[in-house]
Amino acid sequence: MLWIFMTAAAAPLQVARNALQRGLVGDAGPWGATLVRFLFGLPFSLAIFAIAATLAGRVAPSISPRFLLSVSLGAVAQMSATAALLVAMRRSGFAVATVMQQASLPLAAIGGWLLLGDALDAHAWIGIAVTSAGLTILSWPRREQMEGAGFGVLMGLASGAAFAVALNAYREAGRALEPAHPLYSATAAVCVAQTIQSLILVAALAVWRPGALRAVVQSWRQSLGAGFFGAAASACWFGALAMAPAGPVRAVGVIEAPIAAAAGRRLFKEKLSLRQLLGGALAAGGVALTALG
């Protein structure tokens, strides 16, 4: 059951990272803000890995081709999912993109079952289904927002599929390294993934958006905060994925939604509708069923 506590710990850490990243989007742009979570999180991830290695009695990980392939696939899939989500939001709006991206939950569970042999009992499958329904109700767009949203819907679904691939790839990476030491293998995977993502994004922004790189450097104090919370959240996510299938981990991770809603209400004066409250309650029930499974 440790994976449940790690997933629960990841949620508020991720909300804190997102809140700090939100302030960076204006100057650095969405890709500059995305770079922050990887580049400025890497030093903290390395520090967390050093602690985990000491506790596990390991000096350096024994890197295998299976680990490198899995973590590289996860890193690229995560960035591709972010790119598809940004396109979906631009073409169809935030609401449509958000509801389509929720496909990552059932797709992650099905992918883990088919490709990795993850066995889930009836409670877990029912919990995932209920949580998916709650997320759909929570983020379903208004009728006028759906008009002309065809391409954005496809890109939102593509984002959900890519996130599902990333979740299962990171789970496989953790299992390929040190199955007996999930926290050690998870933090090693975080370091490798963030290195790959940082290199790709720095190179891309240096060519196409050098101004975004300057903005990231100039806001280094705020970037360090986002990097720290992002690294801590990633360590918890990867640790949970090393111990449990991606579907249940993603489902329990939905507890991020009420935390984000509370933060949005307090920090940004955002309000929730009755439909959102009902959807949130249904998602919470699904999380409980998944955890019991």
Q: Residues 280-283: contacts with CB within 8 Å, 24+ apart? A: 280/134, 280/138, 281/134, 282/130, 282/131, 282/133, 282/134, 282/137, 283/130, 283/131, 283/134, 283/135, 283/138, 283/254, 283/257
Q: At what angle do helices 2-22 and 256-267 cross, to 10 degrees?
A: 30
Question: pLDDT higher for 2 or 138?
Answer: 2
* Tokens describing residue 204: 């891309």
At residue 71, the pLDDT reads: 94
At residue 249, the pLDDT reads: 82
Question: pLDDT higher for 49 or 90?
Answer: 49
The predicted-structure confidence for 226-279, as pLDDT tens digits, reads as follows 889 888 988 888 888 888 888 788 777 776 666 555 555 554 454 556 665 666
At residue 143, the pLDDT reads: 61
At residue 268, the pLDDT reads: 45
Residues contacting 185, CB < 8 A, separation 6+: 61, 173, 174, 175, 176, 177, 178, 179, 242
At residue 284, the pLDDT reads: 63
Is the pLDDT confidence value at 175 over 70?
Answer: yes
Helix or strand run (H / E) with residue 4: helix 2-22
Q: What is the mean pLDDT of residues 149-172?
A: 81
Q: Which of 91, 250, 92 is nearest to 163 (CA)?
A: 250
CA distance 243 to 180: 10
The predicted-structure confidence for 61-115, as pLDDT tens digits, reads as follows 778 899 999 999 999 998 888 778 777 766 665 555 556 666 777 778 888 888 8
Range name among 29-33, 72-76, 200-204 with the lowest pLDDT average: 29-33
10 Å Cβ neighbour count for 116?
A: 15
Question: pLDDT higher for 277 or 146?
Answer: 277
Task: Determine phi and psi for 203, rounding to 5 degrees.
Answer: -65, -45
* Locus of tokens 């960076």: 24
Question: pLDDT higher for 186 or 136?
Answer: 186
Q: What is the mean pLDDT of residues 138-149?
A: 57
Is the pLDDT confidence value at 282 over 80?
Answer: no
Q: Which of 90, 88, 107, 110 is nearest to 99 (CA)?
A: 88
CA distances from 119 to 48, 116, 122, 162, 186 (A): 30, 9, 10, 22, 21
Residue 157: pLDDT band by 50, 70, 90 thresholds?
Answer: confident
**Is 238 in contact with 170 (CB distance < 8 Å)?**
yes
